[in-house]
């Protein structure tokens, strides 16, 4: 697989997707999904980023995350994946209802598929399209009937909010600074 190209821009809201190695559905295990969510929240606090939305599917994860200008998305995702892999190997492996040998290739443990997919959010419309896509993923997969019924999703958080836009996008910030960038 070719190396994914990352384009640096001053737009720091990203829609990110990454998967479990061999699409093993480890997040069907409630405990594992809860631990990943706890790890995710820890990193978003520590890495000074804002988690706008998430869905933890059985074999992959979708995030809508905003990072500070001094950070980059590759570092954040690498750190999230790396630490959770460490937790799996050292503390959680006995609690998983999955044969841990499935994660070995050539005697090397690999919990995640390599890399991740990323789309930089460039408008409010794109933000809501990606958020709705992400939240409806469990419905489309036949796991739940309504997005807000999926336990490992931020859909319920949005249902409970007042309906205000949760974050200004890059275009909004540019307009507030008196200029609009071509997006």
Residue 4 forms part of a structural domain: no
Confirm whether 6 is domain-assigned: no
Residue 180 banded pLDDT, cuts 50, 70, 90 = very low
- Per the domain annotation, does 28 fall within a domain? yes
Number of domains in the chain: 1
Residue 3 within any structural domain of the chain:
no
pLDDT of the residue at 97: 66
Domain that holds residue 128: 13-176
Q: How far apart are the first and last CA of the chain?
A: 28
The pLDDT assigned to 98 comes to 75
- 11 or 162: which carries more pLDDT confidence? 11
What's the CATH number where 73 sits?
3.30.70.1290
User: What confidence score (pLDDT) does residue 59 get?
Assistant: 97
The verdict on residue 57 lying in a domain is yes
DSSP 8-state secondary structure symbol assigned to residue 48: T
pLDDT in tens, 15-33: 999 999 999 999 998 989 9
CB 151 within 8 A of CB 143: no
Average pLDDT value over all residues in the chain: 81
In a domain, 97, yes or no: yes
Residue 8 lies in a domain: no
Q: Is the pTM of this model over 0.85?
A: no
CA distance 168 to 182: 16
* β-pair type (49-56, 60-67): antiparallel
149 vs 144: CA distance, rounded Å: 6
Centroid of chain to Cα 117: 10
Q: Is residue 181 part of a domain?
A: no
Nearest residue to 12 via CA among 172, 125, 145: 172
pLDDT at 69 over 60: yes
Kindly report, residue by residue over 73-88, the tens digit of the pLDDT.
999 999 999 999 998 8
pLDDT at 173: 33
pLDDT of residue 177: 29
> Which pLDDT belongs to residue 161?
63
Q: How far is CA 149 from the centre of its chain?
A: 19
């Amino acid at each position: 697989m070719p190396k994914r190209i990352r384009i640096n821009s001053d737009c720091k809201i990203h829609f990110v997707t990454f998967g479990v190695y061999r699409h093993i559905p480890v997040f069907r295990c409630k405990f594992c999904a809860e631990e990943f969510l706890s790890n995710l929240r820890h990193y978003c606090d520590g890495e000074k980023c804002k988690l706008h939305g998430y869905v933890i599917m059985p074999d992959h994860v979708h995030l809508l995350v905003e990072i500070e200008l001094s950070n980059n998305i590759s570092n954040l995702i690498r750190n999230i994946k790396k630490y959770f892999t460490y937790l799996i190997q050292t503390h959680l492996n006995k609690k998983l209802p999955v044969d841990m040998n499935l994660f070995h290739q050539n005697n090397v443990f690999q919990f995640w598929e390599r890399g991740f997919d990323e789309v930089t959010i460039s408008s409010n419309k794109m933000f809501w399209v990606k958020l709705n896509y992400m939240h409806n993923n469990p419905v489309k997969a036949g796991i739940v009937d309504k997005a807000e019924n999926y336990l490992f999703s931020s859909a319920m958080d949005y249902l409970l909010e007042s309906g205000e836009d949760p974050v200004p996008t890059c275009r909004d910030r540019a307009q507030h600074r008196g200029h609009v960038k071509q997006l």
